[in-house]
Amino acid sequence: MRVFVRAATDGSLSAAARHMGMSPAMATKHVDALEVRLGVKLFHRTTRSLTLTGAGSDYLEACQRILPEIDEAEAAASSQRIKATGLLRMNVPLSFGRCLVAPLIPEFCRRHPEVTVELGLSDAALDIIAGSWDLAIRIGRLADSPLQARKLGDSPMLVCASPDYLDRRGVPRQIGDLTRHNCLGYTLSAMQGKQWSFGINGEHKVPVSGNLIANNGDALLAAAVRGQGVIYQPRFIVGDAVARGELVVLDLDRPAMDLGGIHVLYPPDRRPPAKVRAMIDYLAEVFAET
């Protein structure tokens, strides 16, 4: 289309070729291909002249409207690769997002005022690509997928109970002691069903039971702080309660299981938009500091 417009403006395929940095033969091939595709002649061509046909005149007007819009669209798309702009949709686990990600958003928006962040908080294993999410944070071992991943940090697990509960029920010293305690379970993890796993690779299994199971770590935290039972949750959930003395970390004879870390995932794009790169770099910077 660009070759056609140039040739119509200059009145010559040779002149159009010079302006566009190609050979006259290549310029001719472009126009020939366009005429074949459209099924009409755009030019009356002789060895000495090049004049538009009726269809060519109509098509020229359309091209002159369309090409600037294409230039504008391409410039807008390219600018998103260079400058962080537009809507950034990120999906994050509920408790993790509330505790650690939501407080970071104001500073990110201050640094990148042309980005609007949509923060989706959910513990469900949502499909990032099908849900049109720009990126997501996942905690644990990653399954094979086409998604790109960058590790942000580790997520240590802690076994905790309130001082009141431990005064009433005693302090477990070995993982086997947990079978005699009220263990509050997390329903969205296989590890937290009817048994808890210990050891770096979860090689030590302990059957547990309790009078509360929930699909949210904050709910289990609230129950544990009020003395209902023992919880086995990531440090980002229980850390503040431990620091305040509301929960006590149990020193057991086996280490907690390694969850596999905290990762940010994003669609497989060799050149992700600037808004995605900006958020990933920002999260990596903050998590490295903390």
- List the CATH number of the domain containing 273: 3.40.190.10
Check residue 82 and give its pLDDT.
72
Long-range pairs of 26-33 with CB within 8 A, sequence gap ≥ 24? 27/3, 30/3, 30/4, 31/3, 31/4, 31/7
Check residue 73 and give its pLDDT.
75
In a domain, 255, yes or no: no
In a domain, 134, yes or no: yes
Mean pLDDT computed over 29-35: 93
In a domain, 95, yes or no: yes
Q: What is the CATH number of the domain that holds 18?
A: 1.10.10.10
Residue 57 has pLDDT above 80, yes or no: yes
Q: How confident is the model at residue 19 (pLDDT cuts 50, 70, 90)?
A: confident
pTM to 2 decimal places = 0.64
Same domain membership, residue 161 and residue 21:
no
Nearest to 56 by CA among 22, 8, 105: 8
In a domain, 39, yes or no: yes
Among candidate residues 64, 79, 94, the one where a domain is terminated: 79
Check residue 146 and give its pLDDT.
85
What's the CA dihedral at 66, 70, 71, 72 to 10 degrees?
Answer: 100
In a domain, 242, yes or no: yes
Report which DSSP code applies to 201: T
Give the number of other CB atoms < 10 A from CB of residue 200. 11
Mean pLDDT for all residues in the chain: 89
Report which DSSP code applies to 100: I
Same domain membership, residue 239 and residue 164:
yes
Check residue 128 and give its pLDDT.
85
Tokens 């059957």 map to which residue?
Answer: 207
Same domain membership, residue 235 and residue 280:
no
Phi-psi region of 86 (alpha: psi -120 to 50; beta: other; left: phi over 0): left
Q: Which helix (H) or strand (E) holds 56?
A: helix 54-82
Same domain membership, residue 144 and residue 273:
yes
Same domain membership, residue 264 and residue 149:
yes
Report which DSSP code applies to 255: P
Check residue 191 and give its pLDDT.
54
Same domain membership, residue 75 and residue 90:
no
In a domain, 13, yes or no: yes
Q: Which two tokens stand for residue 27?
A: 């310029």
Report which DSSP code applies to 147: -
In a domain, 254, yes or no: no
Calculate the alpha carbon distances from 138 to 10, 56, 194, 265 in Å: 58, 56, 23, 7
Q: Which domain covers residue 172, as residue numbers?
A: 157-249
Q: Are the C-beta atoms of 170 and 193 separated by less than 8 Å?
A: no
229, amino acid identity: G
Give the number of other CB atoms < 10 A from CB of residue 14. 14
**Count of domains in the chain?**
3
Check residue 81 and give its pLDDT.
63
Among candidate residues 16, 47, 79, the one where a domain is terminated: 79
Torsion 287-98-187-133 (CA) sign: negative
